[in-house]
C-alpha cells in the first residue's frame, strides 16, 4: 500500500560522485513520516524516468532535493519529482489506513497535506 507521497518536488542539486540516494529536506521527510534510509520510489514528472533509492536527511528547512549517484543520470536541476514510499499491512489494517499525500510549491513550501 502507498504509505506516503510528496508531489511537485523540484530537484535543487545532482551529484554523480555520491554513493547514491535522494537527499531530502528533513522537514519534508517529517511531514510525510519518511525516515533516513527508507526505500523510496522516485517518479520524474519532467522526463518520465523512474527509479528506486533510499532517503538521506538533508538540512531542515533548506529546501534541498538532491539526486545522487547513478540516479543523477535520471534527473537534472529543475526537474519535477514525485517521491513515494510503500508499506506492507495486515488485512485487518487496510480499511483504517490512509496514506499521507504532501503537495509542495516551487520553493518546496508545503501547500497541502491530505
Task: Give catalytic status of residue 21 as yes or no.
Answer: yes
CATH number for the domain harbouring residue 95: 2.40.40.20
Average of per-residue pLDDT across 87-100: 91
Q: How confident is the model at residue 104 (pLDDT cuts 50, 70, 90)?
A: very high
CB-based contact 12:72 (threshold 8 Å): no
Neighbours of 101 (CB within 10 A): 15
Task: Give catalytic status of residue 86 as yes or no.
Answer: no
What pLDDT score does 111 carry?
Answer: 80
pLDDT at 108 over 90: no
Instruction: Count up the domains in the chain and report the number.
Output: 1
Can you give the pTM of this predicted structure?
0.92
What pLDDT score does 19 carry?
Answer: 75
What pLDDT score does 106 carry?
Answer: 74
Among residues 18, 43, 54, 85, the one annotated as catalytic is 54
pLDDT tens for each residue of 2-30: 999 999 999 999 999 987 799 999 999 99
Domain with 84 in it: 2-113
pLDDT at 114 over 90: no
The sheet that has 110-113: what strands, in order across it? 13-15, 65-68, 21-25, 50-58, 39-44, 80-86, 2-10, 100-104, 110-113
Among residues 18, 21, 27, 46, the one annotated as catalytic is 21
The grid coordinates listed for 23 are 537527499
Amino acid at each position: 500500500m502507498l504509505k506516503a507521497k510528496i508531489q511537485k518536488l523540484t530537484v535543487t542539486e545532482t551529484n554523480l560522485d555520491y554513493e547514491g540516494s535522494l537527499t531530502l529536506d528533513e522537514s519534508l521527510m517529517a511531514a510525510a513520516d519518511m525516515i533516513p534510509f527508507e526505500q523510496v520510489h522516485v517518479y520524474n514528472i519532467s522526463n518520465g524516468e523512474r527509479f528506486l533509492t533510499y532517503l538521506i536527511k538533508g538540512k531542515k528547512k533548506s529546501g534541498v532535493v538532491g539526486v545522487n549517484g547513478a540516479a543523477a543520470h535520471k534527473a537534472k536541476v529543475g526537474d519535477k519529482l514525485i517521491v513515494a514510499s510503500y508499506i506492507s499491512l495486515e488485512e485487518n489494517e487496510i480499511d483504517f489506513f490512509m496514506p499521507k499525500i504532501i503537495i509542495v510549491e516551487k520553493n518546496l513550501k508545503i501547500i497541502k497535506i491530505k
